[in-house]
Structure 1
C-alpha cells in the first residue's frame, strides 16, 4: 500500500469514528431527554371502576409503551366531572397534563350551570376515543319489567325517582325528557359517580337509574338489574334484544355520547400530537378493543381537529335542547 493510500484510509477511519461518536452522543442525548420527560397525568373526573376510568385504563398501558413515558391516571371525583376539568384549566400547559372526559362535561355544562368555572375555549382538543350510549335500568325485583310498565306504575304511585351519576349531563336529561313526555313527577337523585349510583339502584333506593351501560353489564348478567331501554339511535349490537327509547315512542331521547382527551389551551402542539398518535395506536390494539367492547364502548378515533369540530357541534345541540325543555340553569 502506498503512503498516499495509507493516509487516505486513516483519514476516512477517523472521520467515520467521529460520525459514529456524534451519532451515539445524539442518541444518548435523546435517551436522556426521553427519560427526563415528566410523567403524563391523565385526569379522570369519575371514580375507579366507572365508565371513563375503564376507558382510561384500557388505553393507558399501550400508550405508555408507545410513548416510552410514564402515564399516571388520577381520579378527581365529584361535581359530575367538573373538578377534574377545573384542575386541568389550572395545571401547567407543559405537555404533561391532560384529561379524559365525556364530551357533555365540556359541551352541556356551559348551558346548565350558572357558574361553571371553565369554558370549552380554555381547552385544546387532543383526540376522540370512543362512543357510547346510556341504559335505563331498574332493580331486579321492581314491579315493572318494561318502560311502559314503569310509566303506568309511576302514575299510580307518584313516588317514582331516577338516579344519575351527576346533574346537568345526558343522564339527567334522559330522565327529564321522559318525565316531560309522560307528564310524570320524576325528580333526579344525584350520586357521586357510576359505582355509587349502581349500588343505589341495586338496593332499590331509586326506581330507575340512567348511566353508561358499562356500569350495569355484570349486574344485568347476574340478574340483579334489568335493562328497560337504551338511548342509541338504533339497537345496540351489545344488547340487540333491548329496545331504544326512540322506538318506544320517544324520538327526542337519543343520546350517543363520546369520550375524548383534552389539554389546557397553550399546551405545545408537538406534545398534543405525540399523545394523539399514541392513542391512535392504542385503539388499534386488539386487547384494547376487546376491553372496550366488554364495556360496550365502540372505538371511534378522531384527531384533534375533528374532535374540536364535534365538540362545537355538540355544544350547539345542547344549547337547543336546554331551551326546548325549559331547563333552569343550576346554581
Structure 2
C-alpha cells in the first residue's frame, strides 16, 4: 500500500511539474476546415492572443475533410501532451452518430477543453418568397410542403438546425447540402433556392443590401450582434434553439493540469476587450464559461441532438 501511495504522489508531482513548464515549445492548432471559414477565423483571432500570453508560437494548420475527422485523427496520432490541439464546432461527442465509419470514438478519445465563440444561425429567404416573417413562412410551408432549404453540407450544425425546425414546427422541409455556405447563399440571392440556414455574420451584409430576407435567428434570445432580428421562437416555434459554437479540443490522456491551464488561458483571452471587439465585429459572440458549466452544456446538447439524429437517420454521405 505504501508503495502505491508513493507512486501516486510521484505521478501527481510529475504532472504538476510538467504543467509548470508547459508550454516549453510552440503549439500546433489543427483546424478541421478550410482557411477563411468561421472555425478558422475564430481560431486565428483567439490563438494569436493566446500565443502572446503563453510566450510561444501557436501554429495554425488547416486539415479539412470528412466533417472534421481528418483533423481529429491527426490529433490522435500525436502524443497526448497538450502540444497539439484542434478546434471543433458544437458537441463533437455526436460525431460517431453522424459518421459510423470513424476510426475513433469522439465521445471518449477527444476532450473538449473550452468554448471560444458562439455562432448565431439564421434562416434566410429569397426576396421573391412571399413571406416576411416566421409566422408567414410556417403557414406558407404548410400549404406548400417539401420546400427546400440549403446548408453548408450534410451533418453540419445548420443541417441539424433545419431538421429540428421541421420537427418542432410540424413542417415538411427538404435539405439541400452544398459544399460550403457561399454557394447556398448565392442560390438564395438568385432565387434558385427559397431558404437557407447560415451563420448570422454571413447573412447580415446580404440582408442590409436587400438581397435576402432574414426571417429569424435560431437562439432562445435575440443576438446582441443584431438585436433587431426576432428569434425563430418568437415567430411561433416555441423553445427553438439551434446555436452552436467553436471550441478547443485535445486528445484523451493530456494531463488534467494542462487541460486546466489551457482552459484558463482561453478564458483570459476571451475576457480581453480587444479580442471581444474583434470577434464581435466578425460576427461571433465571445463565450467564456467555467469548466463545470461547459461540461453541463455538452451533456445537455447531446441529450437534445442524439434523438434528432437517430430519429432522422442523419449520416455523413
After TM superposition, give the deviation of residue 261 of structure 1 in Å: 0.8
Contact 1:165-1:193 at 8 Å conserved across structures: yes
- Name the SS of the counterpart of 2:59 in structure 1: strand
Q: Name which one, 1 or 2, has greater alpha-carbon Rg.
A: 1
After TM superposition, give the deviation of residue 97 of structure 1 in Å: 1.0
After TM superposition, give the deviation of residue 153 of structure 1 in Å: 5.0
Query: Which structure 2 residues correspond to residues 1-331 of structure 1 after superposition, within 5 A?
Result: 37=25, 39-104=26-91, 106-117=92-103, 118-151=105-138, 153-154=140-141, 160-180=147-167, 184-322=171-309, 326-330=311-315
Query: What are the superposed Cα offsets for residues 21-65 of structure 1, whole Å, 9 maximum, x if unpaired?
Result: xxxxxxxxxxxx89961x322122233232222211211211111
Change (3 A) 1:306 1:78: same
Query: What are the superposed Cα offsets for residues 184-215 of structure 1, whole Å, 9 maximum, x if unpaired?
Result: 54221222333444344334443211122122
RMSD, aligned α-carbons: 2.9
- Name the SS of the counterpart of 2:266 in structure 1: helix
**Structure 2 residue ranges without an equivalent (≥5):** 1-20
**Counterpart residue number, 2:12:** none
CA distance in 1, matches of 2:60, 2:180: 17
After TM superposition, give the deviation of residue 250 of structure 1 in Å: 1.0
CA distance in 1, matches of 2:114, 2:127: 38
After TM superposition, give the deviation of residue 67 of structure 1 in Å: 1.2
CA distance in 2, matches of 1:182, 1:306: 29
CA distance in 2, matches of 1:181, 1:320: 13
Query: What are the superposed Cα offsets for residues 100-157 of structure 1, whole Å, 9 maximum, x if unpaired?
Result: 11123x1433333333443221012322223332111123454443334444554666
TM-score (norm 2): 0.80
Query: What are the superposed Cα offsets for residues 60-93 of structure 1, whole Å, 9 maximum, x if unpaired?
Result: 2111111111112222223333332233233332
Change (3 A) 1:184 1:126: closer
Change (3 A) 1:63 1:199: farther
Change (3 A) 1:35 1:148: closer
Change (3 A) 1:310 1:220: same
Contact 1:109-1:169 at 8 Å conserved across structures: no
**Counterpart residue number, 1:21:** none
**Counterpart residue number, 1:12:** none
- Name the SS of the counterpart of 1:280 in structure 2: helix
CA distance in 2, matches of 1:67, 1:132: 26
CA distance in 1, matches of 2:161, 2:178: 16
TM-score (norm 1): 0.77
The number of aligned residues is: 295
**Counterpart residue number, 1:28:** none
